Amino acid sequence: MAEAPVSNCEEIQESLGAYLLGELPESWTDAIDEHLAAGCPNCNDELDELLAGLSGVAAVLDGPPLKPEECIPVQRAIEQRILSLSASNRAPQSHTGFRFLGASLYAAALAAGVLLAVGMMRQFVPSKAGPRFVARQADEVRQAANSSPRISFVSSALPETSQDSSQTILLLFDEQSREAHLYFRNVPVPAPGKHYVIVARGGRRQSEPPQRVYIDGYGQGQIVISSIEKSEAASLRLELRADESATNEDSI
Amino acid sequence: MPNDSDQILMERIAGGCQQSLAKLISRYGALVDQVCRNICGPEAELAALTSEVFWELWVRAERFQEQRGSLRAYLMLIARSRAIDYRRSQRTRQESIRRHMRLKIANDCDRDANAEPCMRAIHDEECQQARKALRNLDPPQREAIELAFFEGLTHEQVAQRMEAPLGTTKSRIRLGLKQLKKYLDS
């Protein structure tokens, strides 16, 4: 393909298919954008024709509307991402089903690109000295947490059997509310879009009440442990289990 | 324009309305799933891919202009792009991605019982007309379109698969889409 962008209507119209599919070099795409925006009637008509044809192709592939329970995993995943963009202009949304993190903590973690995930039937040992400590991400989180006077980074860890450094669990501590916030990121679960039960052990209390956590399609999830000391939080052991009590409505 | 037309819903989404997004997820979730399934295979992380597509719709809602194509086509293009990215990443990570996908066109138009009857009827009619129109295309045009949009091949890959020159392949896709529009208009 020539390096020079398309320059006339014939070339542009011949390239519109590839343009729609995003297969053109950026310089070509920019040139076509500019040409179309300038209002060339023939090329705009041609594009409209192709788009109408594309709509027909899409209709061939289209299927029945999803049932409500089929939509909710997608909605939940998007809700979490919307929350992560709380600094944007979009209006805050209400959520149910599990507790969400405080805005300042959320912003601190997500400013560092930290997302949430979890593994199943594995134990995690948050420990600064852990052999699977993810230093790069930990530094990012620590730096983000340090920007908040009330948030402190405690530790991060990987699933014990994982070799994938993106599969991380992060523990932040809210000094003001005395809450431990656990973020799970990119740890595969056999069935995303469901609730799981997480059991935290360790610290003076030895065992926290099991908490339900929703794991979305990206393997993201989060929980908050209230009324806990920082030292206790640092010694927690976590175990994730399938939520046997979840009903269909619960697990969507 | 109906209160829950695609355009109205997109305007609401641009204003931050998640309920409107939920309606579109219900309406077009099957399309997105099917596009991703065709391109990536049933073993792919389809729920995550679908979420990714609708997330992109949410983020880019303000840029959507229905007059430059239907939302259905817009979503199909986004899904195709994300699915190709996914397939590429999977191929990089592991060599076990299947190379040839068997096209599965959802033949049943068994609509959700909760869908509004009017919208459902329109949707069904559009589906059937589009399938009929596609069947009426010249076989090379139809094959080129199916490879490009149902299997997610690039123009070059379509040309290789069909053992045809790249220019011919581009023309087949372009003329096929235009012909499809004519059939649908008629």
Q: Which two tokens stand for residue A213?
A: 């956590």
Query: What is the rounded distance in angstroms from the CA atom of residue B16 to the CA atom of residue B58?
Result: 8
N- to C-terminal Cα distance for chain A? 47
Q: Does A221 touch chain B (CB under 8 A)?
A: no
* Residue of B57, B149, B86 whose CA lies nearest to A23: B149
Mean pLDDT: which of A240-244, B67-71, B164-168 is highest?
B164-168
Q: Does A52 touch chain B (CB under 8 A)?
A: yes
Using CB atoms, pick whichever of A21, A58, A75 lies closest to residue B22.
Answer: A75
* Chain B nearest C-alpha distance from A145 (Å): 27
Average pLDDT, chain A: 63
Share above pLDDT 70 across residues of chain A, in percent, rounded to a whole number: 46
User: Which of A83-92, A94-103, A104-113 has the least mean pLDDT?
Assistant: A94-103
**Neighbouring residues of B134: CB distance < 8 A, sequence distance ≥ 6:** A56, A57, A60, B142, B145, B180
CB contacts of B14 in chain A (<8 Å) are none
**Better-scored residue on pLDDT, B185 or B175:** B175
State the average pLDDT over residues B163-172.
Answer: 92
Q: Does A57 touch chain B (CB under 8 A)?
A: yes
CA of A13: which chain B residue's CA is closest?
B174
Indicate yes or no: CB of A66 within 8 angstroms of CB of B72: no
* Chain A nearest C-alpha distance from B16 (Å): 5
Indicate yes or no: CB of A62 within 8 angstroms of CB of B123: yes
A169-222 pLDDT per residue, tens: 667 777 777 777 776 666 666 666 677 777 777 655 556 677 777 766 666 667
The two beta strands, A237-242 and A211-215, are unpaired
Indicate yes or no: CB of A54 within 8 angstroms of CB of B55: no
Q: What is the pLDDT of residue A166?
A: 57
User: Which of A18-22, A62-66, A236-240, B147-151 has the least mean pLDDT?
Assistant: A236-240
Using CB atoms, pick whichever of B21, B72, B155 lies closest to residue A62.
Answer: B72
Please tell me whether residue A102 adopts helix, strand or coil conformation: coil
Indicate yes or no: CB of A192 within 8 angstroms of CB of B50: no
User: Which of A48-62, A157-171, B72-86, B98-112 has the least mean pLDDT?
Assistant: B98-112
User: Which of A25-29, A112-116, A182-186, B104-108 has the least mean pLDDT?
Assistant: A112-116
Give Cα B102 distance to the centre of its chain: 16
Share above pLDDT 90 across residues of chain B, in percent, rounded to a whole number: 28
Query: What is the rounded distance in angstroms from the CA atom of residue B125 to the CA atom of residue A173?
Result: 56
Share above pLDDT 90 across residues of chain A, in percent, rounded to a whole number: 1
Query: What is the rounded distance in angstroms from the CA atom of residue A30 to the CA atom of residue A203?
Result: 59
Is residue A71 within 8 Å of B26, Cβ to Cβ? yes
A interface mutation test: which of B26, B58, B111, B131 has the most A CBs within 10 A?
B26
Predicted ipTM of the assembly = 0.76
* Residue of A156, A159, A165, A151 whose CA lies nearest to A127: A156
* Residue of A112, A115, A113, A106 whose CA lies nearest to A87: A106
Q: Does A9 touch chain B (CB under 8 A)?
A: no
Q: Does A1 touch chain B (CB under 8 A)?
A: no
pLDDT at B165 > cutoff 90: yes
* Residue of A174, A170, A172 whose CA lies nearest to A184: A170
Indicate yes or no: CB of A56 within 8 angstroms of CB of B47: no
Q: What is the pLDDT of residue B53?
A: 92
The helix (H) or strand (E) run that includes residue B172 is: helix B166-185
CA of B57: which chain A residue's CA is closest?
A78
Q: Which residue has the tokens 């209709």?
A: A59
